[in-house]
Structures are given as structure tokens and as C-alpha cells.
Homo-oligomer: A and B are copies of this chain.
């Protein structure tokens, strides 16, 4: 069965898997909707995207994604409100960042219409897959990778842009304790740390495994020169509250320009919370924990939304962060999710209606 939505060709799946899904007990990114968007770059240009059944991708064994890690991705979420209206959050920011990442990875940039119209058509086709239970959403994964062939270590001549979606619950289950890293690093000055490049994530897995063995869930990365400054947590940016001031590190070529991060900064300012965007030294955080001025820490990202951090480890010592009554994290999380899910006004114009 074939149709056209927003000029996008739709090839519908013959059957649906939706009845196999327990929408009351969703985990993160493990079940996938019936369709996906597929778009090929070949002969020097992006071809028209189409919606196809969610299905396997067949590649030559010499496809450069297998050898040279040439890939970038985005993370987004769709929400459905009580009126069955579907909402995205600042989707153009994801589109722009995808192209910023692509440029750094020598991947051809995508036209905006292929991304936006394709995404809207996909959400239209799989609208029934968008969960409505509080705390759940349809996680959206746009990604681009090198499908072109050959063992020469140079950019591919063919790419695939795909969007898959996965009805999902919370990214973290339970409390998040973090380890401030002293040995390993996530990214180099002049490197690709600011990009959502696949290789940035694989490099974090082993140090994160070591942290997990010690009882932490995530690593807080520090600069690779002296491990002196807090950077980000790999899957989220980090906010620190010292007394009543909310502090987060500046973005750089090593740190992802998080969309949740920058939204939180604006929201906090609008709420009258003092916000500082500046380098945060590990020493400052440890001293604040010791003298009681460190009130809370949280991570911010699309998948994690706002995740409170219950404590951190550094140099074999543990520092607890008990929950506090007037938590900035809880307050800001409610404000941002109410905007995202159309439960409140949106003075910033961030909410985007899919229609």
C-alpha cells in the first residue's frame, strides 16, 4: 500500500506490531514502531526520502560505517496530548545540530525539508505509537551514516539518513550516582566532542563500565589536559547548584550544545534563578560538597530530560546529595515537561505542533 503525505512516498507495513507492546511498562529504546524514514545520498545528492516498513538494512561489508565510524545522530521526543495533538520540542534545533555534526564528520548536509517533512510524515503514519502515559514519549532517532564502499580511509560517496522511533519510558531507572573521571577522557580540544558523532559514545563505554563496577551509573567527563574542569556526562549536560546559583559549563568544541541544556538556562532565568555559565572546577564542586554549599546536581538531555544526581565519587571518596525540598531540578523538570506535553503555556515558542 502506497500513499503520499507532505510529498513523501509512504510504503505501509502489511501488519502492525503495536499489539505486542506493553505501553504501561516501556523501557528506553528497545521496541520500534512499524515504520521508518529512509533517504539515500548517492551520485552527489540526497534522494527523495520515503517512509517504509521498519526493516533490516543491508550493506556491503566494506561500507565505511563498519570501518571508519562515519556517523552522526540526533535524539528527539514526540508527545501526544489529551486532544490527540502531536508535539515536538524545538525540532529545528535538532535539524541544525545534525548538520553541524555532519559537517565535522565530512558527511553531506541534509535539506531542511527532507528532515522536517519526512519526520512529520513518519509521525503521522505511526501516530498510534506515541505513548500518553506520564513520563513516556515516542523517542525519535534520526541518524546518518556512511554506506559507501571501500577500505580507503576517506569519506564515503554514499550515505543513508534514517529516522526510527521507539515508544519509551525513562532513560535511567533509579537513582543516578556519577563518578568524576580522573584518567579517561571523552574528547580532545579540536576534536569532535561537540558533535553527536557515533564514535564519541563508543569511547565512553569502557570507562563507564569501570565506573559501573564501582557502583556509579555515569561518568562526569573532565578536560583531557588536567582533569581539572567538569564537562558533561556523555548522555547529558551537567548542572550544579551552589547555594542558590545554578551553574553549568560553557559549550566548546569538546562539549555538546544540548538543546535541553540551553532551554533549562532560559527557563531558570525566567524563573528568577541566578544562572552562571562558566567553567566549573572539580575542586570547587568537591569543596562545595564538603562545606554544604553544593545543594544539588542534575543532568539534562533529551533522553534523560532532567535527571537528579544523588551523589558523586571523586578520588575514592563519595559525596552524597540528599534530596532537597525546593529542588531546582524538580521545578525545572515540571516546567519543561509541561511545555513539551502541552500542559502549560509556551512563552518561548518552543513547542511545535505536528500537522
Chain A residues near B (Cβ < 8 Å): 28-30, 32, 36, 54-62, 65-71, 73, 75, 103-106, 139, 141, 143, 145-146, 149-155, 162, 164, 166, 168, 171, 181, 183-192, 197-206, 208-209, 224-225, 227, 234-235, 303
Contacts and interface: CB of A to CB of B under 8 A. Distances in A.
B61 A59 contact: no
A71 B70 contact: no
A154 B205 contact: yes
Contacts of A201: 67-70, 153
A61 B67 CA distance: 17
Nearest to A68: B201
A29 B151 contact: yes
A302 to B, nearest CB: 11
A143 to B, nearest CB: 6
B203 A191 contact: yes
Contact of A151 (B60, B166, B187): B166
Q: How many copies does the complex hold?
A: 2
B29 A62 contact: yes
Contacts of A203: 69, 104-105, 191-192, 197, 199
A59 to B, nearest CB: 6
Contacts of A139: 151
A300 B141 CA distance: 40
Contacts of A200: 69, 199
5 contacts: A67-B71, A69-B197, A71-B202, A186-B191, A199-B199
A202 to B, nearest CB: 4
B188 A183 contact: no
| Residue from A65, A145, A184, A199 whose CB has the most chain B CB atoms within 10 Å | A199
- Of all A-B residue pairs in the complex, the 3 with the closest CB atoms, nearest first, are A199-B199, A29-B151, A69-B198
| Residue from A55, A66, A150 whose CB has the most chain B CB atoms within 10 Å | A66
Contacts of A152: 28-30, 171
A187 B188 contact: yes
Contact of A56 (B54, B58, B164, B208): B58
A103 B203 CA distance: 10
A73 B67 contact: yes
A350 B27 CA distance: 51
A57 to B, nearest CB: 6
A145 B256 CA distance: 25
